[in-house]
Amino acid sequence: MKKKIDNEMNDELRPEYDLHTLLKQGVRGKYAERYRVGTNLVLLDPDIAREFPDDQAVNEALRLVLELNRVTKKRTAKA
């Protein structure tokens, strides 16, 4: 025997939390641009990603590249 389905919502939300009225005032993507500005996501090519097990390894390698670049600049400035 099937249960009778009520058309009314049988949830525990209070009337002031009526989603139909709350969602009418919402703006889709309102904070999307602000989120993108605060996010720095870089996608690695598959061959590069295989060489680095995690984000810490990538950061360490990039810091080494930056340090080598600074050393090279100092040497060329002295010459």
pLDDT digits (tens, 9 = 90+) for 36-56: 887 788 899 999 999 999 999
Residue 1, pLDDT above cutoff 70: no
The domain spans of the chain are 15-78
pLDDT at 67: 96
If pLDDT is split at 50, 70 and 90, which confidence band does 74 have? confident
Alpha-carbon span 26 to 6, nearest angstrom: 28
Alpha-carbon span 53 to 60, nearest angstrom: 12
Question: How is residue 51 written in tokens?
Answer: 């060489």
